[in-house]
A and B are shown apart, each in its own frame.
Chain A
Amino acid sequence: MPIPELEKSIVKGLIQKDKVIVDGVELDGTWNAFMIERTQTGYDPTVWDEIANTLEGVTISACWQCGTCTSGCTMREYDPDYSPRRFIDLARKGDKQALIELQNSLWRCVSCQKCTHRCPKGVLVEEVVHSIHHYLLKHGLVKKDPGTIFDEIFLETVIKNGGRISELTLGAAAAKAGMVTLSLKDLINISAAILKGGLIKDVLRPNRVKNWDRVQKVLEEAMKEEVVPE
């Protein structure tokens, strides 16, 4: 099959040769472009089952692939590989390989909730996408991304800070993980605002929840719980 000129730009791993001779006949034009051979080594139907058995992912089965989620998606305008509709399709087919290839996009949901809000079938798309991503992380199929690292820092900060977040501790922890890059001018502006507003005490030392030690113990126990949608 010749690859049409217009489609060459969207084929991944296109090989275009200047000169190809097959059985003594020289090929040119649309005939001298090739695609890398890809063999699908099998779909894994347990992916769908496992995701549908999580609290966040249970609505995956209701999707009818209309693409309403994806057409309004905030992330898609920035990253053309980002497609909630496709993630759901691949997860239901159990095409792990394709999902792994999309790992640099999959984590980038900004949780704007347009997809969940607009879905005509009541799929909680934002939750399902996170559930798919979580499946891949849990099974060690993808590397840990900055989004997940930040989420973990966030929870850690809540627990360490006595049940509340302080922007400064969170910012400092994120900076330690190499995320925040505030210029000197930013820092001066922010500090000036904090000082002017008399916020210094609140920002530096937020109030702790009164019996936090007890709450924390229960929270940590609860976090070991496997939650199923029932």
Chain B
Amino acid sequence: MTLPTPYGKVAFYPGCALDGLGKSYDISLKLVAQDLGIPLEKIEDYNCCGALEVKNVNTMAGILLPARNLALAREMGADAVVSACPGCHYSLSRTQYYLTKYPKLREKTNMYLEKMGTNNYDLKLMLVHAVEYIYNTVGIEAIKTKVRRPLTGLKVAPYYGCLYVRPKSYTLAGYMKMRDDPERPFFMDEILKALGAEVVPFEAKTMCCGGPHVYSDVEVALHLEARILKEAKRNGAEILVTDCPLGHVAIETNMEKIAKKYGEDLRTPLAYFSQLVAFAFGHSPEETLLTANITNPMSILKRYL
């Protein structure tokens, strides 16, 4: 039995991150969807959305890669696409924006989509992030009733990342119902509070982690990541909770360097919000892959076992 969603039929776009190093996000999100009884049907033959890189190299590739995924979702009969990765959510929304605005570009794109063997894309999809999807579909009260292992007293800092609701021109945040606040988002805060956790004041919620330049401009990325961790630590957070596989992987892999350069006290374990939700719903650390995170969040969470 699955609940009807306010979005109609939903297709899930995992993106490459969730099938790679972000596997723990993918698996825990599936557990959460199962427990809450909401659909999460994958777009099977999806391709990379181009993230924030491809669009800088070639305009048409930056439009066409996401457009193919949107067309595939429509072929499944979907009315909305849920992305777990804000980077993917951004790319899909960006393409939607350009295709809506420029008819000739839309024509060309459809022509190429046909050549690729997919249907034309009719612009009828709503694009949603996983946090918004859970928050709007099941609501906080329903989450509370599923909690078997309350995370009482766990101090968390929710990190949303840049692209969860920005920019409004693409995501329509502020222009549309069921979108989070773009400057001070709170949907994930509410979900975490429903698990019993204590959300600390955290002003780096949507600050940048260095994003597409984590490889090419390392010093800047370290500086920005350290700033996020400093803000979390200063407010007493024990765990940094993320909804963005790019930021998550970037901060986790850079943790050693950050600790060395900006101070050992910045070391903070990271976990995806879905991992914490699944853990609070009673799943084991192995099932939620909390044991597989590089920064070892189980060192904190073991007190709830």
Contact = CB atoms under 8 A, between A and B. Distances in A.
Contacts of A185: 256
B208 A154 contact: no
A165 B20 contact: yes
Contacts of B51: 154, 165
Given A55-B105, A166-B20, A197-B289, A227 B60 contact: yes
B61 A219 contact: yes
Contact of A222 (B61, B102, B117): B61
B169 A150 contact: no
Given A111-B211, A116-B166, A78 B289 contact: no
Contact of B291 (A148, A196, A215, A225): A196
Interface string A112-125: 11101100001010
Given A108-B213, A147-B216, A207 B58 contact: no
Given A158-B65, A214-B116, A199 B50 contact: no
Q: Which residue, A126, A145, A182, A202, has most C-beta atoms of chain B within 10 A?
A: A202
A77 to B, nearest CB: 9
A91 to B, nearest CB: 17
B166 A112 contact: yes
Interface string A64-102: 000000000011001100000000000000000000000
Size band of the A side of the interface?
35 or more
Nearest to B20: A167
Contact of B24 (A54, A158, A181, A197): A197
A126 B19 CA distance: 28
Given A55-B98, A111-B212, A134 B56 contact: yes
Contacts of B24: 197
B292 A151 contact: no
Contacts of A149: 216
A122 B292 contact: no
A199 B23 contact: yes
A183 B45 contact: no
Interface in B214-230: 215-218, 220, 223-224
B167 A147 contact: no
30 contacts: A75-B220, A111-B162, A112-B162, A112-B166, A113-B166, A114-B162, A116-B167, A117-B169, A122-B169, A130-B56, A134-B56, A145-B216, A149-B216, A150-B215, A150-B216, A151-B212, A152-B57, A155-B50, A155-B61, A158-B48, A158-B65, A163-B48, A164-B19, A164-B48, A196-B291, A214-B116, A215-B47, A221-B115, A223-B60, A225-B108
